[in-house]
Structure 1
Amino acid sequence: MCRAIARSLSAKVFLLTAALLAVGCLALYVAVALALPGGYRALSAARAEEAASALAAELSGADAGEAAGIVERFAAENGASVTLSGEPGAASAGEGAPEGSAYTVSVAVELADGSSELVTITDSSGSLGIIADALLRLFPAAAALILAVSAAGAWVCARLVARPVVEIADVSERLSRLDMTWSCDERRADEVGVLARSLNAMAARLERTIGELRGTNERLRSEAEEATARERERRDFLAAASHELKTPLAAARAQVEGMMLGIGDFADHGAHLPRALAALDRMDALVCEMLAAARAESGPAAAPEALDAREVAASAVAASRELAASRGVELALLPGAACPVVAERAQLELAVFNAVSNAARHATPGTHATVSLGGGRLRVENRCEPLPPEVVARLAEPFFRADASRSRDGGGSGLGLHLAARALARLGAPLSLSCEDGSFVFEADLSGLSAPVRTED
């Protein structure tokens, strides 16, 4: 019980207020009970002296018979005991008064016959005893009323003072748990209202700050994940590049050593030197593509410029026609309107050239490959052997080949689609790869790179 009271501000305010009110009311009651008899006695004595003076004035000049009638009438009207005696004396309040009387007053008067009489007026009603007894009997009821009034007053005081403080304490405790699903009542105009408004303002600022911190943390987490993914891609790229370089390097080394030692057919240098040179050319091409991939990953971004994607595609088609012709593939750019974009020239050319050269290199011999632009989309399509979806999903990975042996024979390094995908990602152009019914489609959405339309004033 004591612990519960110690932890409750409302209980403390209620008990303290009730105790103060009860003690104050009881003290007032006791003070009234103690002071009332004395005050009543003094007031009664003062009034008795006035009445005695008036009685003495009325008795002056009256004879003995008239004096007796006047005294009886006075006693009946005032409820007091009045006596006449032949021995004059000084008036004295309370002197000779019977027990329980409020006052006794004596005054000397001279009657008409010249005789002197002492008039003594005594309160014989026992008023003081009645008052004291009444106060004593009323004490239980008065105490109960005092306690009830004190409890009601304490409850009102606790509700008005302690309840808002308790509510703010509860809000503060929830605020410490970063629970923002609350608000303080700001309708009060006193200090509690000021505290509530300040707490609401602080909570709003804290919520904004927490939101900003969460956003920053999410960005940092995303950047960290991206950095980890890029680092993993670099490691995988280097591992794959090392593996890819080993094959032509081993072939060139074997041919050179065979020619140096004159082993078998290798003694004919004229026949094997071109083969060694071809292996070195493949390594050179692979290294060049690896450098292009590195520049695409980490090179500084160039300033975007206004370009016509159709002109870039036409240049890529022209550069890949010889490769396509060597494989018996007809490569063509379908007619259409200009496709203005704003982008980094190097990245756009890298993406388009690798997409077109990939189609020229891997299209089925004797078929055709087409390049088209329309609706802000670049589409490169060629015929090929059907590819399962899981293979298509990996075509943009570095050095991945759907058919490794045929790709090497055709001179492919496995970096073409990877370079195109990375360049488009850097430009912010979505890429989709699909293969249905023996038709491979490379489609890039360039609508986000569209140049603003100029209007003449």
Structure 2
Amino acid sequence: MMNKLKLFSKTYIFTMGIISVIILISNVLIYLALPKVYVNNKQKEADKIIEDLIEQVNKSDNKESFKIAKNFAEKYNIQVLLTIGDEKRVFQGLHKVDIYVNEEEITENSLIIPNLSGENIIESFDDENGEIFGQYININNLSIIKSRDFKKSNDVNGSAKIVMDLESFTETRDIILKILPYSIFISLLIALIASYIYARKITTPIKEICDVTKKMENLNKEAFCEVKTEDEIGILAANVNSLYENLLNTIVSLEEEIKNVSESEKIKVDFLRSASHELKTPLMSMYIMIENMLYDIGKYKNHYIYLEKCKDIVSELSKMVQEILDTSKLNIINNKNESVLDLGSLVQKNIEPYKLIAKSKKINIKMNLKESFNIKVDEKLFTKAISNIISNAVNYTDEGKEIRIYIKDKKLIIENDCKPISEEHLAHIFEAFYRVDFDRNKSSGGNGLGLYIVQQILKMYNLDYSFKSILTGMSFEVDFN
């Protein structure tokens, strides 16, 4: 049954139950312990009174001693029986009782009230006929008796007995018994209210956290647990916030990863489609030439010329297939063989094969690599990227113009003088097999994979890059910052 209750109800019932049990036990213990505690206190008080009485009597003569006994009786509202030598006197306090003395019969140990805690207490000392034996002390109420013998300085023996009335205790106990139900009722009522306030105070923050987690379940990005305290509940709220923030970040990362995978798959499909198209055209051309040569149709009778052309086409296809294979490998490289290299030396090494081509086109290559710095890359991959950029610059630079290669502010910049490419073409320049309109005839030998490969390699190293038009032509920048 309790398992089906809400946290507030459980906390309220549990707290109320504990407080109620404590209240009941406390009231019962107070009622049961009151007689013993009260009697013990009165006994200690009686011991002190009789000790003080004997102390003062010892310092005084007989006449003065009886005056002192009278004063004690009136001051403490007790009965005092003082014996000095053969003289015996009884003094009563404000409460009058009949006192008869028979010192031989009355002893402290004989005056014990049955069924009550504490010693030296009597209720009555009548005989079975209700008459007094000689001079007994007749006490009608619950009382404590204390007796002490003493010897004065003049060697006169004496004794003192005091009787302390406990009638007020009986009245107090009866009053407590009467008000006990009211006390318990009021205490339980207060406990009822206190338990409600406590349960509400404890469960409200937890309920708020539950409400927020419901919003979090629906991935509400505005959901947030307000941290109001530094206790365990506050720590719980902070932990929930941290956990939810990590969850949202993970979801965003997964969404980005899914998006990247989708884009990657799309790129692969587009790449294969483009590759098929690029391979299809020269293959079809070669197929037509071979077929015409087989049937000795027209000019194709001269097999030598067209076999040479077929050879050139096969050579180009071989290069293209190799480029396609190299490009496809970039997507599955997991372990890069990285090493620390000097960027300037790497550029200098890659420019050498293109100097002869540049010279044949009367292209002037200017280099400023003074601000060179070290980079940690896979030499084979990065050589491919730089080589493709330089090859692109040499192939498309106008005859007799200039190529400028320099390093500045941790950027590798390669500029070449040529006809600037329009923004329309620049938007697609890094797509596989894409060539600008004026180069569709492949006169330069390009297959449209160069910049695509450069892009894939630079992305692997998370390097920023740009290919843009400048006043004199085009500029390719790789930012190593």
1:413–1:28 distance in 2 versus 1, CA, 3 Å: same
Distance 1:141 1:51 in 2: 35
Aligned mates of 1:306, 1:222 — CA distance in 2 = 31
Name the amino acid aligned to 2:428.
Answer: R
Letter matched to residue 334 of structure 1? M
- 1:415-430 matched pairs, under 5 angstroms: 415-430=449-464
Q: Aligned to 1:105, what secondary structure does the other structure show?
A: coil
**Unpaired stretches in structure 2, ≥5 consecutive residues:** 40-78, 101-123, 142-164, 217-224
Distance 1:312 1:93, change over 3 A: closer
Q: Secondary structure at the match of 2:310?
A: helix
**1:275-424 paired onto structure 2 within 5 Å:** 275-299=309-333, 301=335, 303-324=337-358, 328=361, 330-337=363-370, 339-342=372-375, 343-365=377-399, 367-389=401-423, 391-403=425-437, 405-406=439-440, 408-424=442-458
How far apart are residue 320 of structure 1 and its match?
2.8
Q: Which range moves more in the overlay, 16-25 or 209-218?
A: 209-218
Q: Which residue of 2 aligns with 1:248?
A: 282
Match of 1:260 in 2: 294
Partner in structure 1 of residue 58 of structure 2: none
1:233 paired with 2:267, answer: yes
Distance 2:174 2:181 in 1: 11
**Alignment deviations for residues 190-236 of structure 1 (CA, whole Å, 9 cap, x no partner):** xxxxxx7xx99999999999999988887777666655544443332
In 2, the alpha carbon distance for the partners of 1:316 and 1:339 equals 15
1:106 maps to which of 103, 128, 132? 132
Aligned ranges 1:15-94 → 2 under 5 Å: 15-25=20-30, 78-80=96-98, 93=126
Say whether residues 1:272 and 2:306 are aligned partners: yes
Gaps of 5+ in 1: 36-49, 60-69, 83-90, 97-103, 110-118, 186-195, 449-457
- Whether the 8 Å CA contact 2:382–2:457 is kept in 1: the answer is yes
Cα shift at 1:427: 4.4
Which residue number corresponds to residue 191 of structure 1? none
Output the amino acid matched with 2:311.
L
Distance 2:258 2:357 in 1: 42
- Amino acid corresponding to residue 26 of structure 2 in structure 1: L
Aligned-residue CA RMSD in angstroms? Answer: 5.5
Aligned partners of 2:465 and 2:394: how far apart in 1?
A: 19
Judging by fraction of residues, say which structure has more helix.
Answer: 1
Query: Does the CA contact (< 8 Å) of 1:5 and 1:12 recur in 2?
Result: no
Distance 1:344 1:333, change over 3 A: farther
Q: CA deviation at 1:355?
A: 0.3
Contact kept in structure 2, 1:330 and 1:368, CA below 8 Å: yes
C-alpha deviation, 1:395, in angstroms: 1.7
Q: CA, structure 1 residues 93+133, in 2 after alignment: closer, same or farther (shift >3 Å)? A: same
Aligned 8 A contact 2:99 2:139 in 1: yes
What is the aligned residue count?
372
User: Cα–Cα, structure 1 residues 249 and 106, in superposed 2: closer, same or farther, change >3 Å?
Assistant: same
Q: Deviations over 1:108-151 (max 9, x none)?
A: 69xxxxxxxxx997969xx9999988876776556545655677
- Between the two proteins, what is the percent identity of the paired residues? 19
What does residue 19 of structure 2 align with? 14
Is the contact between residue 415 and residue 473 of structure 2 (CA under 8 Å) also seen in structure 1?
A: yes
CA contact (8 A) 1:396 1:421 kept: yes
SS of 2:271's equivalent? helix
- How many Å apart are 1:262 and its aligned residue? 1.9
